[in-house]
Amino acid sequence: MNAPVSALETGLLDCGADFPILAQPVRGRRLAYLDNGATTQKPRVVIEALTQFYEQSNANIHRGVHWLSQHATDRYEAGREAVRRLLNAPSARDIIFTRGTTESINLVAQTWGLSLKPGDEILVTGMEHHSNIVPWQLLCERTGAVLRHARVLDDGQLDVEDFRSQLNSRTRLVGIAHVSNALGTINPVDELIRMAHGVGALALVDGAQAVAHARVDVQAMDCDFYAFSGHKIYGPTGIGALYVRGSILAGLPPWQGGGDMIRTVSFERSTWADGPQRFEAGTANIAGAVVLGTAIDYVMGIGLDRIAAHEAVLLAEATERMQALPGVRIVGTAPHKAGILSFLVDGIHPHDLGTILDTEGVAIRAGHHCAMPLMTRFGIPGTARASLALYNDSRDVDALVAGVQKAQKLFGVDR
Ligand SMILES: *Cc1c(COP(=O)(O)O)cnc(C)c1O
CATH code: domain of residue 327: 3.90.1150.10
* pLDDT tens for each residue of 274-303: 899 999 999 999 999 999 999 999 999 999
Which atom of ligand 1 lies closest to the CA of 209? 15
Distance in angstroms (rounded) separating the CA atoms of residues 302 and 298:
7
- How far apart CA 46 and CA 288 sit, in angstroms, is 10
Best probe residue, ligand 1, of 158, 209, 368 (max atoms within 8 Å of C-beta): 209
Q: What is the four-CA torsion angle of 24, 26, 29, 34, rounded to 10 degrees?
A: -90
Q: What percent of the chain has pLDDT over 90?
A: 94
What does the alpha-carbon distance between residue 130 and residue 369 come to, in Å, rounded to a whole number? Answer: 9
Task: Provide the pLDDT confidence category of residue 335 given band limits of 50, 70 and 90.
Answer: very high
Among 395, 397, 390, 396, smallest CA distance to 14 is for: 390
Q: How confident is the model at residue 6 (pLDDT cuts 50, 70, 90)?
A: very low
Which residue, judged by its Cα, is nearest atom 8 of ligand 1? Answer: 102
pLDDT digits (tens, 9 = 90+) for 180-237: 999 999 999 999 999 999 999 999 999 999 999 999 999 999 999 999 999 999 999 9
pLDDT at 178 over 80: yes
Please report the pLDDT score of residue 28 as a whole number: 95
pLDDT, residue 8, reads 43
**Cα–ligand 1 centroid distance for 131 (angstroms):** 7
Q: Distance, CA 15 to ligand 1 centroid (Å)?
A: 24
Name the pairing type of β-strands 225-229 and 202-206: parallel
Domain final residue pick, 301, 326, 354: 301
Calculate what percentage of the chain has a pLDDT beyond 70: 98
Q: Which atom of ligand 1 is nearest to the CA of 369?
A: 15
Enclosing domain of residue 221: 47-301
Which of 55-69, 85-99, 112-126, 317-331 is predicted least confidently? 55-69
C-alpha angle 388-17-317 in degrees, rounded to nearest 5? 30
Residue 5 domain-assigned (yes or no): no
- Does 183 map to a domain? yes
Contact 144, 122 (CB under 8 A): no
Ligand 1 atom closest to the CA of 178, numbered from 1: 13
Residues 266 and 307 in one domain: no
Whether 223 is a known active-site residue: answer no
- Looking at residues 309-316, what average pLDDT do you find? 97
In a domain, 35, yes or no: no
**So what's the pLDDT on residue 226?**
99
Domain count, the chain: 2
Mean pLDDT of all residues in 157-184: 98
> Are 95 and 238 in a shared domain?
yes
Which of 103, 206, 374 is the best mutation target for the ligand 1 pocket, counting ligand atoms within 8 Å of the beta carbon and taking the most? 206
Chosen domain end from 262, 279, 301: 301
Q: Which of 15, 140, 223, 370 is catalytic?
A: 370
Does residue 40 carry a pLDDT above 90? yes
CA of 235 to the centre of ligand 1 (A): 14
What pLDDT score was predicted for residue 62? 86
**Domain termination site, one of 253, 284, 301:** 301
**Residues with beta carbon inside 6 Å of ligand 1?**
37, 100-102, 129, 131-132, 177, 181, 206, 208-209, 229
d(CA 141, CA 315): 40
In a domain, 10, yes or no: no
Contact between 157 and 186 (Cβ < 8 Å): no
Q: How far is the CA of 290 from the centre of ligand 1 (A)?
A: 21
Beta pairing partners, 362: 32
pLDDT of residue 2: 37
> Contact 195/163 with Cβ under 8 angstroms?
yes
pTM equals 0.96
Question: Are both 144 and 282 inside the same structural domain?
Answer: yes
Do 213 and 308 touch, CB atoms closer than 8 A? yes
Query: From ligand 1's centre to the CA of 341, what distance in Å?
Result: 17
pLDDT at 10: 56
The whole-chain average pLDDT of the chain stands at 95
Look at residue 117 and tell me if it is in a domain: yes
At 44-89, the pLDDT tens digits run: 999 999 999 999 999 999 877 899 999 999 999 999 999 999 999 9
